[in-house]
């Protein structure tokens, strides 16, 4: 028997309490039984997003939320600025181009965070930029972009919206939507919210809703104005993902019981321990600055294929992590510490990494990283 451990940056483990809640008999999405369920979910999401704004609930993956963040607030030919520092920054560019927006990019070297002053300079030079798109946590590189600093710059520009993909950052990082002035923020169910894939969440500011009134881009399924109208009645525009929303309520209860500050501290601590432990066994971090609390991207030792490390973790020890993408493929492997994770998930991951690398001929003393992790976790 090979026991499985899910330590990928999405999907992430789902608590048994959430699974049991979702096993209850299905109810109809337009019935009176469902109204209080969605009402509870929308209030819980406002707590999680730290906002008074509406948080829309879409039956889609996070990418659907990203699409809606484009086609509901812009027009063909609008100039927008995309911070492209990884595969998901690249996705923002592709979505904007699909809707014929005029895309400018700030290309950030993989493994580095965007410099806020670079964004500030670009906005000063281009007064007609209608939106700035960024990832909070760039999952492909393990880098966190400084959302607070970026927000402080962008909110000075009245005609510019700040759009944040927080799909892997939500729960792992403190993202103060209202306080900082984030206009549109996208989340997804299969990351820190501890659910299976299938729901996207999008918070929308009043500034962004005003912009939505002038948007002429085509929209049908991802029509945020209709979603907002239905949300006011505790409904979704189309068929609700009833089972997932029932599970969402349970996961939000668990997060609220832990307390948001404690949830954030837990992710920060686990990420710190993971980084220190892999460095103790001689491995480098792909994130050269501002590492994410959601996922650690680890450099594979010279002569060892990172994809082989990822494959051996899964096949030999039952640990599902993630490999590198695009230009990082073969160079790195990635371990998440996101959502329903605790101290022993980190210890399991470190032990598995040591055993895989030792088995592939890399010289190391077994237990070195595990000992460092244990010491830090006991401190």
Specify the pLDDT at position 270.
98
Query: pLDDT tens-digit profile of 344-372?
Result: 999 999 999 999 999 999 999 999 999 99
Query: pLDDT tens-digit profile of 116-169?
Result: 999 999 999 999 999 999 999 999 999 999 999 999 999 999 999 999 999 999
Taking 90 as the threshold, does the pLDDT of residue 105 lie above it?
yes
What are the tokens at 249? Answer: 């309520």
Q: What is the 3 state secondary structure string of the chain?
A: CCCCEECCCCCCCCCHHHHHHHCCCCCCCCCCCCHHHHHHHHHHHHHHHCCCCCEEEEECCHHHHHHHHHHCCCCCCCEEEEEECCHHHHHHHHHHHHCCCEEEEEECCCCCCCCHHHHHHHHHHCCCEEEEEEECEECCCCEECCHHHHHHHHCCCCCCEEEEECCCCECCECCCHHHHCCCEEEEECCCCCCCCCCEEEEEECHHHHHHHCCCCCCCCCCCHHHHHHHHCCCCCCCCCCHHHHHHHHHHHHHHHHHCHHHHHHHHHHHHHHHHHHHHHCCCCECCCCCECCCEEEEECCCCCCHHHHHHHHHHHHCEECEECCHHHCCCEEEEECCCCCCHHHHHHHHHHHHHHHHHCCCCCCCCHHHHHHHHHHHC
Specify the pLDDT at position 353.
98
Taking 90 as the threshold, does the pLDDT of residue 1 lie above it?
no
Query: pLDDT tens-digit profile of 289-347?
Result: 999 999 999 999 999 999 999 999 999 999 999 999 999 999 999 999 999 999 999 99
Report domain extents, the chain.
Answer: 5-10+259-378, 16-257
Averaged pLDDT, 266-277? 98
CATH architecture of 16-257: 3-Layer(aba) Sandwich (3.40)
Specify the pLDDT at position 368.
98
Percent of the chain having pLDDT more than 70? 100
Does 5-10+259-378 carry CATH code 3.90.1150.10?
Answer: yes
Q: Shortest CA distance to 49 belongs to which of 341, 195, 244, 255? A: 255
């Amino acid at each position: 028997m090979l026991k499985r451990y899910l330590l990928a940056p999405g999907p992430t483990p789902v608590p048994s309490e959430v699974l049991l809640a979702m096993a209850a008999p299905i109810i109809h999405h337009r019935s009176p039984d469902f109204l209080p369920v969605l009402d509870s979910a929308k209030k819980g999401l406002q707590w999680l997003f730290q906002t008074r704004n509406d948080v829309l609930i879409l039956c889609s993956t996070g990418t659907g939320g990203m699409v809606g963040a484009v086609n509901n607030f812009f027009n063909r030919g609008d100039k927008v600025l995309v911070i492209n520092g990884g595969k998901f920054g690249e996705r923002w560019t592709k979505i904007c181009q699909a809707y014929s927006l005029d895309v400018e990019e700030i290309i950030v070297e993989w493994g580095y965070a965007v410099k806020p002053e670079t964004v500030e300079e670009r906005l000063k030079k281009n007064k007609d930029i209608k939106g700035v798109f960024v990832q909070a946590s760039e999952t492909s590189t393990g880098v966190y972009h400084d959302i607070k600093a970026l927000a402080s710059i962008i909110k000075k520009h009245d005609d510019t919206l700040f759009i944040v993909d927080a799909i892997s950052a939500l729960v792992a990082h403190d993202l103060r939507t209202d306080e900082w002035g984030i206009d549109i923020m996208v989340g997804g169910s299969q990351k820190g919210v501890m659910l299976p894939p299938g729901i996207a969440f999008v918070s929308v500011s009043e500034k962004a809703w005003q912009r939505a009134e002038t948007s002429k881009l085509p929209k049908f399924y991802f029509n945020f104005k209709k979603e907002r109208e239905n949300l006011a009645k505790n409904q979704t525009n189309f068929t609700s993902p009833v089972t997932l929303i029932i599970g969402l309520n349970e996961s939000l209860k668990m997060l609220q019981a832990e307390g948001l500050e404690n949830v954030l501290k837990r992710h920060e601590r686990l990420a710190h321990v993971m980084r220190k432990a892999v460095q103790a066994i001689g491995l480098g971090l792909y994130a050269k600055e501002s590492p994410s609390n959601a996922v650690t991207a680890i450099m594979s030792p010279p002569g060892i294929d990172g994809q082989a490390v990822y494959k051996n973790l899964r096949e030999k020890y039952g640990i599902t992590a993630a490999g590198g993408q695009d230009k990082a493929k073969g160079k790195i492997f990635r371990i998440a510490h996101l959502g329903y994770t605790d101290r022993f998930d980190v210890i399991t991951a470190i032990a598995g990494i040591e055993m895989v690398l030792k088995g592939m001929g890399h010289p190391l003393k077994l237990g070195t990283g595990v000992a460092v992790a244990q010491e830090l976790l006991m401190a």
